[in-house]
Amino acid sequence: MSSSTVNWFRYSSPASFFPLAGKLVPWFAAAAALLSVLGLWLGLVVAPTDAQQGDTYRIIFIHVPAAWMSMFIYLVMAFWSALALMFNTRLSAMMVQALAPTGALFTFIALVSGSLWGRPAWGTYWAWDARMTSELILLFLYFGYLALHAAIADSRRADRASAVLVLVGVVNVPIIYFSVKWWNTLHQGATVSLTAAPRMAAVMLTAMLIMSLAAWFYAIAVTLLRVQAVILEREGRAAWALNLAGAE
Amino acid sequence: MLVAEDLAAQRGNALLFEGVQFSLRPGAAMFVSGPNGSGKTTLLRTAAGLTRALRGRLFWDGSAVDPFASILRAVTLFIGHPTALKDELTAEENLASLVSLHGAPAEAESLAAALTEWSLARQRRLPARALSQGQRRRVALARLRLLTRPLWILDEPLTALDAAGVAALRGVVGEHLAGGGMALIATHQEFAPVGGTSQSLRLQ
Amino acid sequence: MNEATLRAAPLANDSAWGGVSWAVARDLKLALRSRAELGVQLLFYVIVVTLFPLGIGPDPATLRTLGPGVLWVAALLASLLALPRLFAADFADGTLEQIALSPYPLPALVSGKIVAHWLATGAPLVALSPLLALQFGLDGGEIGVLVTGLLLGTPTLSLLGAIGAALTLGVRGSGALLALLILPLYVPILIFGAGAVESLRAGLVPGAQLSILAAGLLAAIVGAPLACAAAVHIALD
């Protein structure tokens, strides 16, 4: 057990994490590519046409994984933010900074795909239903993080301030979701879930899970790449980085 | 006793200073000097516990202290470069406010006495916006008399002070040192307080 | 005074209540001396509310439907406008450093500032809202629910907004940035506040929504000063 503790802390400095990240990226990228090919084949080709929605429902294989990832990434950001504030570690804050753009991207994809789904299914691109509205507010939370981090010149202060913001946000996300859901029922009467997925055949569920896994691995690969860029941006003049550049 | 070990600080990505260490014992004053931008204010703010140093540690009476540690706040009187006066309050109200902020009672007689000592008797009831820079500095320094703290950290206290003001400060600091207090003072010009021992630290 | 006396000097008063009362007293005194600034912020509320009928048309039925939402949104925006005055002046003149170094606990001092801030900016807004609600044709019962909601909600707006104000201290473009950071957090308060009036109109008792607002206020009273104190420490770093 003690050797694994030593290993853990060895990678907690940006200098030692940098090469590790570099080694991991190709594996996750390849896994993501393979899984998405499999998932899309299952979802677009194998899964049967739905009786009510025809083939347009197939966009859930993009929409649902994207929505799940948008929420999950925010939680992961909150985890790293808590670490950054408690232990004052630079790498934790860099992880938050690396995750945010991907989280925002998934949120955006979820919104666009949900909107595209809504059009053929219900005749309108945006119908203010609970999930989509909450997703939109989540996008604002991501933008808020990115804007705050970019606006503060001193990187250490930017890290800590945006970490506090993420933690305040993560506490509020369930409250926001609950309130929007209530708002929706108040104004629409019966709960009409705008983007109700068709009754799930087993192959549809499998396809969705595989696509979610693909999205997760993609997110990991891209985040590791981005954290390398962040590390270089902050510590590019340090001895270890110059050595690395010189050796290549 | 305040001890600093191997302090380093940076602003943005540039290193301001590193390897700074000192011990400040009761009865001693340390004068920190250096060119503009050398990190005097940063060093003083680190010693006051307002900011965390990049490296190194700070110790009070043997125990390590983190920024904003309650023990450090209880023993320190920090007077920074901005005077912390509100334009809308009078000199007397400003002084009362700053003194009661640090937990001491703000009685009218002691406030009046402190202001008189700093030649501000006639300006007592004037709003701070009507005071000159030198007068504002004196109001800020007037609380040295009214708060009892072992450690004084003063950042450029001589700014805008005339000769009489400098003399008054020398006297106040000297009495503080004679009573067993210590002072960490950033200044361009060294001023010898009356009594106590002096050390200097020069930042490059 | 010798060394023994210096050491034996009583440790300064450091109770939480002392911190709250210091901050409330000082900030209220300062607010009273800058009444013009506060008047302007109140006028902003009135102007924003007046813009809606001008943009939508004076049809009484439409205005009645929109009234609660409009009044709440305007309250959110007016609240947002007033937030920077909580910390910006103290940050600029060095007082915030002194506050952070005080023996009083910082969350207590911050709470006091927020209380004073609400008394100076939120309470007048709540007091004015019945008059503005009449312009939208709300009846007595609806006005009662609206005012109760605002009374419970505007302090929460101040508490949450204070966190944003502390995080954006000294930052370029902080006004718009503050709006981006805080408005998503304001959404639940808006929903339950305006929704309470809607509930009343639908024939229900708005007790649930008002209770939720009250619970939110309690949670904010406990959590916001701590988050705000952390943000102030970060801003002073």
- The residue extents of the domains of chain C are 15-236
Asked if B14 is an interface residue toward chain A (Cβ–Cβ < 8 A), one would say no
**Six-digit token string for A173:** 């996300």
- The distance of Cα C192 from the centroid of its chain, to the nearest Å, equals 17
Over residues B16-27, mean pLDDT:
88
**Residues on chain B touching C101 (C-beta within 8 angstroms):** 48-50, 68, 73, 76, 78
Kindly report, residue by residue over A183-198, the tens digit of the pLDDT: 888 776 544 455 555 5
Positive or negative CA dihedral for A209, A215, A216, A221? positive
Which residue of B lies nearest to A152 if distances are taken between CA atoms? Answer: B12
Over residues B92-107, mean pLDDT:
92
**Residues on chain A touching B12 (C-beta within 8 angstroms):** 153-154
Q: How many beta-carbon pairs below 8 A join chains B and C?
A: 99
DSSP annotation of B130: G
So what's the pLDDT on residue B48?
93
Please say whether the beta carbons of C14 and C104 come within 8 A: yes
pLDDT band at A202 (very low <50, low <70, confident <90, very high): confident
Please say whether the beta carbons of A66 and A58 come within 8 A: no
pLDDT band at B135 (very low <50, low <70, confident <90, very high): very high
pLDDT band at B105 (very low <50, low <70, confident <90, very high): confident
Three-state secondary-structure class, residue B203: coil
- Which of C9, C95, C233 shows the shortest C-beta gap to B84? C95
Mean per-residue pLDDT of chain C:
91
* Residue A167 distance to chain B (closest CA, Å): 22
**Residues on chain A touching C168 (C-beta within 8 angstroms):** 148, 151
So what's the pLDDT on residue A40?
87
Question: Cβ contact (<8 Å) for B74 and C98?
Answer: no
- The distance of Cα A183 from the centroid of its chain, to the nearest Å, equals 26
Which residue of C lies nearest to A135 if distances are taken between CA atoms? Answer: C184
Question: Cβ contact (<8 Å) for A157 and C191?
Answer: no
**Which string of DSSP letters, residue by residue, matches A228-239?**
HHHHHHHHTTSH
- Asked if residue B119 belongs to a domain, the reply is no
pLDDT band at A105 (very low <50, low <70, confident <90, very high): very high
Kindly report, residue by residue over C40-72, the tens digit of the pLDDT: 889 999 999 999 999 998 899 999 999 999 999
Which residue of A lies nearest to C197 if distances are taken between CA atoms? Answer: A186
- Identify the helix (H) or strand (E) that includes residue B201: strand B197-202
- The distance of Cα C107 from the centroid of its chain, to the nearest Å, equals 16
Mean per-residue pLDDT of chain A:
85
List the Cα angle B5/B9/B10 in 5-degree steps. Answer: 165
- Which of C174, C181, C202 shows the shortest C-beta gap to A144? C181
Asked if B12 is an interface residue toward chain A (Cβ–Cβ < 8 A), one would say yes
**Cα gap C237→A161, rounded to integer Å:** 11
**Residues on chain A touching B52 (C-beta within 8 angstroms):** 88
**Cα gap A193→A60, rounded to integer Å:** 14
Question: Cβ contact (<8 Å) for A186 and C199?
Answer: yes
- Which of C181, C195, C235 shows the shortest C-beta gap to A183? C195
pLDDT band at A3 (very low <50, low <70, confident <90, very high): very low
Which residue of B lies nearest to C95 if distances are taken between CA atoms? Answer: B84
Question: Cβ contact (<8 Å) for A183 and C199?
Answer: no
| Higher-scoring residue by pLDDT: C17, A199 | C17
SS3 content of chain C, % helix, strand, coil (to 5): 85, 0, 15
Question: Cβ contact (<8 Å) for B50 and C100?
Answer: yes
Mutation target vs B (from A85, A86, A154; most B CBs, 10 A cutoff): A154
> Which domain does B18 fall in, by range?
2-86+148-202
Three-state secondary-structure class, residue B86: coil
Question: Cβ contact (<8 Å) for C99 and B101?
Answer: yes
Which residue of B lies nearest to A158 if distances are taken between CA atoms? Answer: B12
**Cα gap B154→B30, rounded to integer Å:** 10
Please say whether the beta carbons of C114 and C22 come within 8 A: no
Count of alpha carbons within 13 Å of B45, Cβ hemisphere only? Answer: 22
Positive or negative CA dihedral for C185, C186, C191, C192? positive
Over residues B21-48, mean pLDDT:
89
- Amino acid found at C225: P
Sheet holding B55-60, edge to edge: B14-24, B2-11, B55-60, B63-65
Question: Cβ contact (<8 Å) for C101 and B88?
Answer: no
> Which residues contact residue C201 at a Cβ distance below 8 angstroms, ignoring those fewer than 6 apart?
C142
Lowest pLDDT segment from A50-59, A101-110, B17-26, C77-86: A50-59
Strand pairing partners for B55? Answer: B8
Over residues C8-30, mean pLDDT:
82
So what's the pLDDT on residue B88?
92
**Cα gap B9→B7, rounded to integer Å:** 7
Asked if A178 is an interface residue toward chain C (Cβ–Cβ < 8 A), one would say yes
pLDDT of A120 > 90? The answer is no
**Residues on chain A touching B53 (C-beta within 8 angstroms):** none
Question: Cβ contact (<8 Å) for C94 and B84?
Answer: yes
pLDDT band at A245 (very low <50, low <70, confident <90, very high): confident
State the residue for tokens 């340090």.
Answer: A238
Positive or negative CA dihedral for A187, A190, A193, A194? negative
Kindly report, residue by residue over C67-90, the tens digit of the pLDDT: 999 999 999 999 999 999 999 999
So what's the pLDDT on residue A2?
45
pLDDT of A4 > 50? The answer is no
> Which residues contact residue C96 at a Cβ distance below 8 angstroms, ignoring those fewer than 6 apart?
C87, C90, C169, C232, C235, C236
State the residue for tokens 């988050």.
Answer: C227
So what's the pLDDT on residue A59?
86
**Cα gap C97→A218, rounded to integer Å:** 45
Lowest pLDDT segment from A134-138, A217-221, B39-43, C155-159: B39-43
Positive or negative CA dihedral for B61, B63, B68, B74? negative
pLDDT of C17 > 50? The answer is yes
Positive or negative CA dihedral for A211, A216, A217, A219? positive
Phi, psi of B21 (to 5 degrees): -140, 150
**Six-digit token string for A124:** 């309108």
pLDDT of A241 > 80? The answer is no
Strand pairing partners for B28? Answer: B197
- Asked if residue B121 belongs to a domain, the reply is no
Mean per-residue pLDDT of chain B:
89
* Residue A67 distance to chain C (closest CA, Å): 18
Which residue of B lies nearest to C229 if distances are taken between CA atoms? Answer: B68
Over residues A48-54, mean pLDDT:
74
Please say whether the beta carbons of B60 and B1 come within 8 A: yes
**Residues on chain B touching A157 (C-beta within 8 angstroms):** none
Mutation target vs B (from C17, C21, C95; most B CBs, 10 A cutoff): C95
pLDDT band at C14 (very low <50, low <70, confident <90, very high): confident
Which residue of A lies nearest to C204 if distances are taken between CA atoms? Answer: A186
So what's the pLDDT on residue A191?
43
Q: Which of residues 83-102 of C touch B (CB under 8 A)?
A: 89, 92-95, 97-102
pLDDT band at A1 (very low <50, low <70, confident <90, very high): very low
So what's the pLDDT on residue C4?
47
So what's the pLDDT on residue A193?
53
Please say whether the beta carbons of C196 and C206 come within 8 A: yes
**Cα gap B111→B90, rounded to integer Å:** 12
So what's the pLDDT on residue C1?
42
Lowest pLDDT segment from A122-126, B116-120, C162-166: A122-126
- Amino acid found at A67: A
- Which of C177, C216, C231 shows the shortest C-beta gap to A151? C177
pLDDT band at B14 (very low <50, low <70, confident <90, very high): confident
**Six-digit token string for A45:** 């080709």
**Residues on chain B touching A88 (C-beta within 8 angstroms):** 52
**Cα gap C159→C220, rounded to integer Å:** 6
- Which of A88, A154, A237 shows the shortest C-beta gap to B12? A154
Question: Cβ contact (<8 Å) for B50 and C237?
Answer: yes
List the Cα angle B81/B83/B86 in 5-degree steps. Answer: 150
Task: Please report, rounded to a whole number, the percentage of residues in chain C having pLDDT higher than 90.
Answer: 82
Kindly report, residue by residue over A8-27, the tens digit of the pLDDT: 566 778 888 888 888 899 99
DSSP annotation of A50: B
Q: Which of B178, B180, B179 is nearest to B195 (CA)?
A: B178
So what's the pLDDT on residue C223?
95
- Identify the helix (H) or strand (E) that includes residue B138: helix B133-146
Over residues B100-105, mean pLDDT:
90
**Cα gap A236→A245, rounded to integer Å:** 10
Question: Cβ contact (<8 Å) for B70 and C103?
Answer: yes
Separation in Å, CA C231 to CA A107, A163, B88, C19, C125: 27, 10, 26, 18, 27
**Residues on chain B touching C18 (C-beta within 8 angstroms):** 103
Q: Which of B42, B67, B65, B122 is nearest to B90 (CA)?
A: B122
Kindly report, residue by residue over B49-85, the tens digit of the pLDDT: 999 888 889 999 888 998 999 899 999 999 999 999 9
- Asked if residue B116 belongs to a domain, the reply is no
pLDDT band at A213 (very low <50, low <70, confident <90, very high): very high
Task: Please report, rounded to a whole number, the percentage of residues in chain C having pLDDT higher than 70.
Answer: 95
DSSP H stretches of helix in C83-206: 88-93, 95-101, 106-117, 123-135, 140-167, 174-201
pLDDT band at A235 (very low <50, low <70, confident <90, very high): confident
**Residues on chain A touching B11 (C-beta within 8 angstroms):** 154
**Cα gap C108→C87, rounded to integer Å:** 15
So what's the pLDDT on residue A163?
97
So what's the pLDDT on residue A190?
45
